[in-house]
Amino acid sequence: PRYFKHRNFPSFVRQLNLYGFRKTTQDPSKFEYQHELFVRGREAAMRGIKRKVTPDKGEALSTRQEIDSANLSISALQGKQREYEVALQRRTFE
């Protein structure tokens, strides 16, 4: 609490994650985080640490709709492909 504004530790950890810091150990009793640009003596490198940008909900919805549309097109094409395969098999047996 000496170096950051609040006493809510889980919120602080969430902020670390937003800036790309990752926990160094799987031990739940240790709270050590690292970032490849956060290195002693390399203050200039820290300028590269940026908060991750989350897509807004409109963009996510638009992307989801595009994926759904693409999936429908793929399904339709697969159906046509099956029809052509059946027709081709009929011709080869005649």
CA distance 72 to 79: 11
| pLDDT 10s digits, 52-93 | 877 666 666 677 778 888 889 999 999 999 999 998 888 877
pLDDT of residue 81: 93
CA distance 13 to 56: 22
What is the pTM for the complete model shown? 0.48
pLDDT of residue 3: 66
Q: Which residues contact 6 (CB under 8 A, 6 or more apart)?
A: 12
| pLDDT 10s digits, 2-45 | 666 667 888 888 888 888 899 988 888 888 999 999 988 988 88
Q: And the tokens for 76?
A: 């339709």
Could you give the residue ranges of the DSSP H alpha helices within 20-56? none
pLDDT of residue 9: 82
